[in-house]
Chains A and B, each alone.
Chain A
């Protein structure tokens, strides 16, 4: 065994030093033991300072007035959803970049006005609201936001839950670009365009006789999505949350959506390059800002009231025109959501009793309608669907209907809503069921769609046609 060299023994520390070391060690251990478990619950803190604002929109505005010339080549690569906007731009679709507003001499002021209006009407994530006292037209806005359950107390609760559960995908301002969003397909919804896919709102007109700007969802559609999630996407179910929290989240979704849409149109009119605007700008370049504001306002008024005289409004308007136009727009959007709630689709009565087996002729008729109207996009019954652009500039794929996964819900009535209303933001048109007996046409198509994924429930000739001969 190796001899260990002896070392000079170290002098013994004094008793006080030893006491101190015990004390230090004990303090450290206790602190670690207490602080770590007590600090962990801090992870759940959802308070947010009042100084945090909703970010003003900085990502491009897409406006697909007409369908793009060609289909997207593929899904954007993971983590790079913005690539699809490049594809759109390459085929000549105007992509309006809010950053370019800085270049115009009036751009900063315009942005400032938009920002001030949004901040005053919608508050901050800590104190969200819709409408502010003392602003022109506040009375109607306040009344409408109460009808739509957009009161500050509800929104504050919703905002808290939103930051905890939704923010990482949908982002602070509802821009659908949270930290985890880029890797998801389909992408999380960008609420700021006021568009929703799965709606059960019948087509209707506003009391003023005008069409709504967008196909609005009913509150129940949003609640249903929150409760059940969207099967086949990354949106999970929030059905185990307290009921008040789900309600608050639905309200907050509306809040983000309305705020985003007002912002969208205000920036859109600042950036749009349509011939009429360009003509007005060319005539008087010094007044570009004013002319664009008038265009925006006249848009808002036209939407609002056919008799409205823009010249008259402009001459009477006190102060800046842009906030006045945004207030008009906000009022209109609120009324549209309120109207949507009052206009549910009332399904036509199914001519076949539901407790009896599906008649073969119904399936055959459904197949006929499908082949006439649906197969263009849902090629191969959806197995070979070609990709397409949606209204957000993203890439979507028409559903594969041979697999029984339904994003908008699997009840027959859900399929009925989809075919009767279409999915407007994705360019899915509503089915034409007007020939002969509309109720029969509609329900035959629904019945066919419901049987389609299950080879055993199809008559042999149809099964052969759709699924081949393999499955008996």
Chain B
């Protein structure tokens, strides 16, 4: 059956290293339930009258227990596809630590306040004006936010692939573009249309221009992003309708697509998702901006080939399929097993 003749014999997929919550095993919830129950018994025994304090306490304990447990059980972030993903995770963890410290702090204050006895007459006295306190709670978070804003700049510059090594991403410059592979990704309700510039041919003079005016030798593919290990992939992100967001969870890469704009971004591929035994770990593309009714099924598949040769084999097969002058024979074009098969629902 001539579906897409260009489909390459990408290796058979195994079960993905998925990051969906697994609720199938009830024993996973046990630590959470035990911690929560212990806390509720303790609180009720200790302060029988303060029912609401008990409820807040249970929730805090449950959230804490679940967070600790989930991190140990693979409910955290998915596999890292490159070094930059590690950097992003570092930033994420930094923010997470800050949030946790302040979360515990504020929860303690909250529970302390709830456990106080009501004053005579049943109403508390409000406090008005405390300059020291106001300064403290303005300056400390302010300083932290400024720190977060500055700390992420170099990572963002790398992700944009512009002005490498600098603090701030600059405008896109063709001359300094380190990319080995040019891909235009056009978001559309509800699919990703990829267009590859043949890396063995001449590089387009102006990739931004090329993103909106295809060239003859371009290879057109739907919903599949291919590259090879070690490639620097210049993505030109566009949309034909509404705002989409191109999200590669394993790369910790997310960039909005805005109507009327071509947004360049750089993807570093430091790892392959083809296992030595030829199976494929499922890396996916997702839309991260609610874009309409079928937003949830705007997904795609990422294949990072182990080397440039196997990528070129795939690309050339696509290319010859695209220039087919007759329908390929039914037996010759069995499409490969697809790791995303059945997941696009």
Contacts and interface: CB of A to CB of B under 8 A. Distances in A.
A90 B220 CA distance: 43
A295 to B, nearest CB: 41
A1 B338 contact: no
Interface stretch (B93-101, B152-160, B247-255, B324-332): B324-332
A272 interface: no
Interface stretch (B67-75, B131-139, B162-170, B188-196): B188-196
A36 interface: no
Given A227-B3, A237-B191, A240-B338, A412 B123 contact: no
B51 A25 contact: yes
Contact of B51 (A22, A44, A165): A22
A180 B322 CA distance: 32
Contact of A240 (B3, B125, B340): B340
B87 to A, nearest CB: 30
B215 interface: yes
Contacts of A416: 325
A223 B1 contact: yes
A238 B3 CA distance: 11
Contact of A10 (B54, B122, B294, B300): B122
B323 interface: yes
Interface in A10-67: 10, 15, 18, 21-22, 25-26, 29, 44
Nearest to A1: B128
Given A22-B54, A240-B338, A180 B193 contact: no
B141 interface: no
B214 interface: yes
Contacts of B342: 241-242, 245
Given A164-B345, A165-B297, A231-B193, A239 B222 contact: yes
Interface string A394-427: 0000000000100000111100100000000000
A425 to B, nearest CB: 22
A236 B325 contact: no
B299 interface: yes
Interface in A204-229: 220, 223-224, 227-229
Given A18-B49, A25-B51, A220-B2, A354 B323 contact: yes
Contacts of A168: 293-294
Contacts of B125: 1, 4
B276 interface: no
B293 A412 contact: no
Given A44-B345, A165-B297, A242-B342, A457 B324 contact: no
A200 interface: yes
Given A240-B340, A242-B342, A411 B3 contact: no
A344 interface: yes
A350 interface: yes
Interface in B201-255: 214-216, 220, 222-223
Contacts of A413: 324-327
Contacts of A346: 326
Instruction: Give the interface residue-count category, chain B.
Output: 35 or more
Given A10-B122, A242-B342, A200 B327 contact: yes
* Chain B contact residues: helix, strand, loop or mixed: loop
B343 interface: yes
Given A18-B51, A347-B325, A223 B3 contact: yes
Contact of A243 (B128, B188, B293, B341): B341
Contacts of B4: 224, 227-228, 239
Contact of A229 (B121, B222, B294): B222
A465 interface: no
Contacts of B55: 22, 25-26, 29
Given A168-B293, A229-B191, A238-B344, A410 B220 contact: yes
A180 B123 CA distance: 56
A240 B294 contact: no
A363 to B, nearest CB: 13
A356 interface: no
B223 A454 contact: no
A236 B294 CA distance: 10
Interface in B113-158: 120-123, 125, 128
A4 B36 CA distance: 40
Among the interface residues B51, B214, B215, which one has the most CB atoms of the partner chain A within 10 A?
A: B51
B325 A354 contact: yes
Interface in A411-467: 411-413, 416, 443, 450-451, 453-454, 456-457
The 9 closest A-B pairs by CB, nearest first: A240-B344, A242-B342, A22-B51, A236-B191, A6-B121, A237-B222, A240-B340, A411-B324, A227-B3
Interface of A: 1, 4, 6-7, 9-10, 15, 18, 21-22, 25-26, 29, 44, 164-165, 168, 180, 200, 220, 223-224, 227-229, 231, 234, 236-243, 245, 344, 346-347, 350, 354, 404, 410-413, 416, 443, 450-451, 453-454, 456-457
25 contacts: A1-B128, A4-B123, A7-B122, A7-B123, A18-B49, A22-B55, A29-B59, A165-B294, A168-B293, A224-B4, A229-B222, A234-B189, A236-B189, A236-B190, A237-B223, A239-B3, A239-B4, A240-B338, A240-B343, A243-B335, A243-B338, A347-B326, A347-B327, A354-B325, A411-B323
Given A7-B122, A240-B300, A410-B220, 14 more contacts: A4-B123, A9-B121, A9-B122, A15-B48, A18-B49, A22-B51, A180-B293, A228-B4, A231-B193, A236-B191, A237-B191, A240-B344, A404-B214, A454-B216
